[in-house]
Amino acid sequence: MALSYKTRRRVALLVLCVGLPAYIVLAVTLVGLIDRPSLWVELAVYVGLGFLWMLPLRPLFLGIGQPDPDDEDQTMK
């Protein structure tokens, strides 16, 4: 069952406000477990983890910035 537009917007907001900060804390903790790597290795790990979090959530965020396709007031204009 596909999520409605409003549900997708709410879940996307929840992911950005709660999930992303939690993921950042997890990423910093994981990198902190390694004895201070070089700047380039650390940067590569953070960039890689930055792309990794969004891959499974891409379908959730697609089309969120567009008007609600099910809103009849928008389609009447």
- Residue type at position 10: R
pLDDT in the model for residue 22:
94
- Any domain includes 23: yes
Alpha helices in 1-77, H assignment, sequence order: 5-14, 20-33, 39-54, 58-61, 72-76
- Any domain includes 66: no
**Tens of pLDDT, residues 19-75:** 999 999 998 898 888 888 888 988 898 899 889 988 998 888 888 888 888 777 655
Q: For 75, what's the count of Cα atoms within 13 Å in the CB-facing half-sphere?
A: 5
- Any domain includes 31: yes
Kindly report the pTM of this predicted structure: 0.73
> Helix, strand or coil for residue 40?
helix
Residue 1, pLDDT > 80, answer: no
Domain range holding 39? 12-58
Domain count for the chain: 1
- Any domain includes 20: yes
- Any domain includes 72: no
Residue 18, pLDDT > 60, answer: yes
- Any domain includes 3: no
- Any domain includes 70: no
- Any domain includes 71: no
